[in-house]
A and B are shown apart, each in its own frame.
Chain A
Amino acid sequence: DQQVKQNSPSLSVQEGRISILNCDYTNSMFDYFLWYKKYPAEGPTFLISISSIKDKNEDGRFTVFLNKSAKHLSLHIVPSQPGDSAVYFCAAGGAGSYQLTFGKGTKLSVIP
């Protein structure tokens, strides 16, 4: 049973526009959520995180929104740049747990 779901395997966006990547989770015990960016044959790079006590966290062009009642989070990238083209993984963790549960990833392509 997938506890973290990224239902869009891929997304194409024009350069300069907004990219919105979505993630849904089922486990109410998750209290910390992260987004990672991954280029082929490289390790995931941590982008941004959000604690369950917040509903928004912003870092430069990246904003993560958390809707706890819907068990949904999203990553907004504005403006999108060609260098943002990568696979984005959503991950979730629970207090006191070493485990991160990852989604299957969404491949973002930013078209110049």
Chain B
Amino acid sequence: DTEVTQTPKHLVMGMTNKKSLKCEQHMGHRAMYWYKQKAKKPPELMFVYSYEKLSINESVPSRFSPECPNSSLLNLHLHALQPEDSALYLCASSQDPTSGTIRYEQYFGPGTRLTVT
């Protein structure tokens, strides 16, 4: 099973709202990722969690707050977003590439289409 699930599929929120995106995988992967993707662009890395600890934060504004409650779950908490934050938010998981494994392809979820009004 190579499935990563994400909820919700679509989200519309105002600039004063607080909402959360959720991601789940059951592949035993210990690295989980949040990406942002705008139309006709490649995915942009936002955060990486490794063994439930934040490993990489790509200078993402604090209005985005990631959380990894356990090895299967990843959340992205949203607060006071701007219209330019509207995008497809993708979760991905992989084996830990720092563990010496030779295969570390990332498996992506279907994404959450976020619109900020």
Contact = CB atoms under 8 A, between A and B. Distances in A.
Interface of A: 32, 34, 36, 41-46, 49, 51, 89, 93, 95-100, 102-105
Contacts of B108: 36, 43-46
Interface of B: 2, 4, 6, 31, 33, 40-43, 45, 48, 50, 55-56, 88, 90, 92, 97-98, 102-111, 113
Q: Which of the listed residues A93, A97, A100 has the most CB atoms from chain B within 10 Å of its own CB? A: A100
A41 to B, nearest CB: 6
Contact of B104 (A36, A93, A105): A93
Contact of A96 (B92, B98, B103, B113): B98
B2 A43 contact: no
B104 A46 contact: no
A46 B106 contact: yes
B110 A43 contact: yes
A19 B41 CA distance: 22
B42 A103 contact: yes
Contacts of A43: 4, 6, 88, 90, 92, 108-111
A103 B56 CA distance: 21
Contacts of B40: 105
A34 B25 CA distance: 20
Given A89-B42, A104-B41, A98 B105 contact: no
Contacts of A36: 108
Q: Which of the listed residues B2, B31, B102 has the most CB atoms from chain A within 10 Å of its own CB? A: B102
